[in-house]
Amino acid sequence: MSNHALQSLSLTEFRSYERLDFALDGRSIYLFGQNGAGKTNLLEAVSVLNPGKGLRGAGFSDLGRRLPDEMRGRAWGVAATFGEGETEVRLATGSDPRDPNKRTVRIDGEPAPAARLIEHVRLIWLTPAQDRLFIEARSERLRFFDRLTYAAEPTHAAVVSAYEKALRERLKLLTDGPPDDAWLTLLEQKLGETGTAMILARRRAVEALQAEIETHAGPFPKADLGLAGDLADDLAGSGLNTHIINGFRQSRARDAAASRSLFGPHRMDFTVIHRDKNRPAAEGSTGEQKALLLNVILAQGARLAKAESSSPPILLLDEVAAHLDPGRRHALFDETHALGLQTLFTGTDQGLFDGLKSRALGVRVDGGQFVEFVE
């Protein structure tokens, strides 16, 4: 496993866990137990050790443990150690005592902005909610793809955050007024700068992922990746920057009337084609869509596992095994093991994970407690 792997995890008043201290020692694990036992809650705890919200998209005020007679959740915390020796880093996040809708972040005991978490751990997750990723809102696909992008380029997270902040400020100025031209111009220059960086990073990510898919003979159907709505895909650098700035300036009146921003790189889409069938992923079965997503995720894992400049991502795969036939399920286990990807799986049935015996630690979960370990 990677020397940046998750070594230990501690939860305090998080979801169904009153307290948990768990030593993973860099191993992959599979969590099994009945629905509602707390399996996904543990994956969610790991996921909040990245910028933004966790894998459920829940607000920070909703993460604290709450008993049936309590109106609001308790103050919560998640802490983890990644890596060993010189690479060891301690990450922690939890409730902000000044505002339950926010959180605090610490890196090696020192306060830090959440955007810096991505410098130390790369997380990619797949959940049942993403089974409909290809047929639901474009924004969800783009968010998924941006997470893949900043797993390879950590600075992408901060760029996206800065772009979205400027976008909100510009729209507020247009809708609430007064529409100060000088301030709008400054915001649109910021949108041009960050928007250009976003688009170029996304283009690099698509190109690199497609190259990995071509060279890697994985167990899942090959996907052809693309970006729809790519602004002026023949432009780059200063030309793209100018194009974005002009586009925002020209759309001021339209955006003000619509009360939303109708132009910009936030309007792009991540597209996936099932190559063998030459059809968009959205037209495939649920199983085919899941397999295509895994193809993309494993390509990213393989890409980063080879790169000397970055660490492989940690995969959080919630209820994935149950939706795969036995052949693909075992192929997934073989692939994550062969790539050296630390992976956290969940499922209701221990038998789903027979192919992981001796390669991962099994944990039976019940009522927010670890009640059995299977080596």
DSSP assignment string, 224-257: EEEEET-TTTT--HHHHHHHHHHHHHHTHHHHHH
3-state helix, strand, coil in the chain (%, to 5): 45, 25, 30
In 10 A of CB 344, how many CB atoms? 26
pLDDT (mean) for 72-97: 93
Query: How far apart (Å, rounded) are the C-alpha atoms in residues 222 and 276?
Result: 7
pLDDT (mean) for 126-136: 89
Confidence of residue 270 (pLDDT cuts 50, 70, 90): very high
Higher pLDDT, 297 or 231: 297
What confidence score (pLDDT) does residue 310 get?
Answer: 64
Confidence of residue 3 (pLDDT cuts 50, 70, 90): low
pLDDT (mean) for 56-83: 90
Give me the half-sphere count of Cα atoms (radius 13 Å) on the Cβ side of residue 25: 2
What confidence score (pLDDT) does residue 90 get?
Answer: 96
pLDDT in tens, 286-305: 888 988 999 999 989 888 88
Q: Which residues pair with 363 in a beta bridge?
A: 31, 373
pLDDT surpassing 90 at residue 87: no
Query: How far apart (Å, rounded) are the C-alpha atoms in residues 334 and 28?
Result: 12
The pTM score is 0.89
> For residue 174, what are the CA distances in angstroms to 162, 199, 253?
19, 24, 8
pLDDT (mean) for 141-165: 91
Distance of CA 368 to the CA centre of its chain: 24
What percent of the chain is modeled with pLDDT above 70?
A: 98
What confidence score (pLDDT) does residue 308 get?
Answer: 61
What confidence score (pLDDT) does residue 1 get?
Answer: 43
DSSP 134: T
> For residue 220, what are the CA distances in angstroms to 58, 147, 290?
31, 21, 9
pLDDT (mean) for 78-94: 94
> For residue 187, what are the CA distances in angstroms to 89, 159, 237?
36, 14, 19
118 near 154, Cβ under 8 Å? yes
Confidence of residue 82 (pLDDT cuts 50, 70, 90): very high
Token duo for residue 123? 């997380």
16 near 38, Cβ under 8 Å? yes
89 near 107, Cβ under 8 Å? yes
pLDDT (mean) for 232-244: 87
What confidence score (pLDDT) does residue 100 get?
Answer: 87
Distance of CA 20 to the CA centre of its chain: 24
Higher pLDDT, 235 or 106: 106
pLDDT surpassing 80 at residue 232: no
pLDDT surpassing 70 at residue 57: yes
pLDDT surpassing 70 at residue 190: yes
pLDDT surpassing 70 at residue 231: yes
What confidence score (pLDDT) does residue 193 get?
Answer: 97
**Which backbone phi and psi does 338 adopt, to 5 degrees?**
-65, -35
pLDDT surpassing 90 at residue 130: no
What confidence score (pLDDT) does residue 357 get?
Answer: 86
pLDDT surpassing 90 at residue 108: yes
pLDDT (mean) for 237-242: 91
Stretch among 1-15, 41-55, 95-109 having the lowest mean pLDDT: 1-15
What confidence score (pLDDT) does residue 312 get?
Answer: 79
Mean pLDDT across the chain: 91
H helices of 101-180, in order, are 138-152, 155-176
- Per the listing, tokens 């810096």 go with 116
Stretch among 117-131, 192-206, 227-241, 264-278 having the lowest mean pLDDT: 227-241
Residues 316-330, buried b or exposed e (16+ Cβ, 10 A)? bbbbbbebbeeebbb
374 near 362, Cβ under 8 Å? yes
